[in-house]
Amino acid sequence: MNRLPPIETKRLYKSSIKNVWENVTSQKKLALWLMPGNFKAEVGHQYYFQCYPASQEWNGKVLGEVLEVNEPNFIKFTWRTDHFKEDTIVSFSLTETEDGVLLEIKHEGFSKSDIVDYEKHVTGWDRHLTSLEKVITDEKI
């Protein structure tokens, strides 16, 4: 098979599942920790994210479609940039625990020829989850 292993990362947030869900599905909140765009947690919604391009190698745009929503526990959507050979799939899984909410991100479907973008997404998702933690923490004040 010509695929790289899925990117899998997780983070525990000391917050309610309702709050974490809102932060990972509301475009107003997504703009604070991920990217501005027009995301909606509705199956079939065609979304975009647009950020300032970090280099001339990427136009700063992500396009996709919401594939599955099970509020407040799960959302899955396609994720495509102008570099990818084909769509990749991102899913957010939220699980309530005694200590808060465990958010697990899985990003899969990278072709072996997309190794450079794959590696950027490995570090990017971790960086974004740190930003999300700051957004959630600030909301508690």
Q: Which helix (H) or strand (E) holds 87?
A: none
- CATH code where residue 132 lies: 3.30.530.20
At 98-119, the pLDDT tens digits run: 999 999 999 999 999 888 889 9
At 53-92, the pLDDT tens digits run: 666 666 678 999 999 999 999 999 999 987 777 899 999 9
Q: Which residues of 59-77 are buried (b: 16+ CB within 10 A; e: fewer)?
A: eeebbbebbebeebeebbb
The answer to whether position 141 is within a domain reads no
The answer to whether position 24 is within a domain reads yes
pTM of the predicted protein model:
0.91
Q: Which amino acid is at 17?
A: I
